[in-house]
Amino acid sequence: MPQFVQEDTTGINPPRIDIDAVRAAFPILDQEVKGKPLVYLDSAASSQKPVSVIDAIAEYYRRDHANVHRGVHTLSERATDAYEGARERCRAFLGAAGTTEIVFTRGTTESINLVAASFGETFVKPGDVILVTEMEHHSNIVPWQMLCQRHGATLAVAPMTDAGEMDLEAFDRQLDRQPVLVAITHVSNALGTVNPVAALVRRARDAGAKVLVDGAQAVPHLSVDVKALDCDFYAFSGHKVYAPTGIGVLYGRESLLEAMNPWQGGGEMIREVTFDHTEYNVLPHKFEAGTPNVSGAVGLKAAIDFVDDIGLRNIAAHESDLLRYATAKAAEREWFRVVGQAAAKAGVLSFDIEGAHPNDVGMMLDAEGIAVRAGHHCAMPVMQHFDLPATVRASLGVYNTREEIDKLFASIDKIRDLLV
């Protein structure tokens, strides 16, 4: 059994993660901020990195670095093997059929922009409808808006309920408009809602739409199988799942990627170039113009290994326990409003404190060594739904503890006394 998990010797209880071992793997956590031990509750913005990821990147640069797919020399071969090995790791992680379906990008934002540009250019005509939901991050709204402007298409929005869940009947009514593409988040970054994505994909595909799933907030907390979900595209960012910044993945159904024009031109994405004509490279290289982020891919592979060592099921159980614990503490305070009351949630406690501005709360928590995010979380339509300018958001990673939740609430009680 891996070092991060403790089996129950009686065999009655599920395995538990060894939180001390997990925390010891994250050097950044062992520091004081403003004279207090750091409590990091901002993993939805970006997670911290285990030493195995940091070491894998350093080792790659110490030993193996060269450009990929080009050189005949040994280092280039090693770098190419490392890069393509990472692609295979991502394929297995998402349950994709082949590595032809795994395109490396800078992250979720770039993955979605790639689809908006390439799928958009190839398939979206004037008068077409693209459907998003009310709970999307700006990066799953704005690229579609820009595409609609370019192509004379219409952006439609499927609303959510006041609990922060998808309104399925309203979703079906929007599908009656026969959108060419439906873009939905798997997990909401502002509310924590886990959407019933398989069911939404089925409905959308039955209505004739292609479906993109934004998995940025899902991949760190849930195991994902793109074949089971049956989506056409799935996007995620490495940096939210313990990997470095600047690397992410777009899964795309092979037949669709084949049919789509490339979005950026340059090296890597071609097979032959003359001044009259360019023949494009095979998948997935057709969508990866220029020298890629090889060290990022190496780090992503190490991060997926780390997550698999612990097991997403064990990570989810640990984080659900923390979220339940925090939600119960919130319920004891009548001035504490949890924003987002979905039945299924992952990783996020978004809240508003009566009489206190979220930004003030965030800054005062920082003075206690507690890192949270305060703001609109790049999901302004979610804030508009709840008629709030902002919320405070505490978000969880595998390294968080109940003691940290206790510290969060002790500090919030203090801040409330000072401000109100």
Residue window 158-177: x/- pattern of binding to ligand 7TS, with contact defined by CB under 6 A: --------------------
Kindly tell me which residue out of 109, 133, 174, 314 binds ligand 7TS, with binding defined by CB under 6 A. 109
Smallest gap from residue 2 Cβ to ligand 7TS (A): 27
| Cβ pair 43, 347 in contact under 8 A | yes
Kindly tell me which residue out of 101, 128, 134, 214 binds ligand 7TS, with binding defined by CB under 6 A. 214
Q: Which of 90, 148, 231, 378 is catalytic?
A: 378
- 3 state SS of 256: helix
Q: Which one of the spans 3-11, 213-221, 327-335, 364-372 is the region binding ligand 7TS (CB under 6 A)? A: 213-221
Any residues with CB less than 8 A from the CB of 88 and at least 6 apart, and which? 99
The yes or no reply on residue 380 touching ligand 7TS (CB under 6 A) is no
Q: How far apart are CA 313 and CA 307, in angstroms?
A: 10
| Cβ pair 306, 52 in contact under 8 A | yes
Among positions 41-70, residues that touch ligand 7TS (CB under 6 A) are 44-45
Q: Which one of the spans 47-55, 210-218, 258-266, 323-331 is the region binding ligand 7TS (CB under 6 A)? A: 210-218
Residue 231 among the catalytic residues: no
Amino acid letter for position 235: A
In terms of Cα–Cα distance, which of 201, 108, 178, 163 is closest to 350?
163
The yes or no reply on residue 293 touching ligand 7TS (CB under 6 A) is no
Q: How far is CA 360 from the centre of its chain?
A: 27
Which residue, 139 or 281, is less far from ligand 7TS as judged by CB? 139
Q: How far apart are CA 39 and CA 56, in angstroms?
A: 26
Any residues with CB less than 8 A from the CB of 180 and at least 6 apart, and which? 123, 124, 128, 129, 130, 153, 209, 210
Which residue, 64 or 110, is less far from ligand 7TS as judged by CB? 110
Among positions 225-264, residues that touch ligand 7TS (CB under 6 A) are 237
Sign of the torsion formed by the C-alpha atoms of 213, 219, 221 and 227: positive
Any residues with CB less than 8 A from the CB of 12 and at least 6 apart, and which? none
Kindly tell me which residue out of 89, 377, 385, 416 binds ligand 7TS, with binding defined by CB under 6 A. 377
The yes or no reply on residue 139 touching ligand 7TS (CB under 6 A) is yes
The yes or no reply on residue 391 touching ligand 7TS (CB under 6 A) is no
Q: How far apart are CA 154 and CA 176, in angstroms?
A: 14
The yes or no reply on residue 301 touching ligand 7TS (CB under 6 A) is no
Amino acid letter for position 208: G
DSSP type of residue 107: S
Smallest gap from residue 298 Cβ to ligand 7TS (A): 18
The yes or no reply on residue 133 touching ligand 7TS (CB under 6 A) is no
Which residue, 124 or 247, is less far from ligand 7TS as judged by CB? 247
| Cβ pair 307, 319 in contact under 8 A | no
The yes or no reply on residue 108 touching ligand 7TS (CB under 6 A) is yes
For 101, the token pair is 């379906």
Kindly tell me which residue out of 43, 118, 185, 350 binds ligand 7TS, with binding defined by CB under 6 A. 185
How many other C-beta atoms can be found within 10 angstroms of the C-beta atom of residue 378?
18
The yes or no reply on residue 189 touching ligand 7TS (CB under 6 A) is yes
| Cβ pair 268, 69 in contact under 8 A | yes
Residues that bind ligand 7TS (CB under 6 A): 44-45, 107-109, 137, 139-140, 185, 189, 214, 216-217, 237, 373, 377-378
* Residues catalogued as catalytic: 378
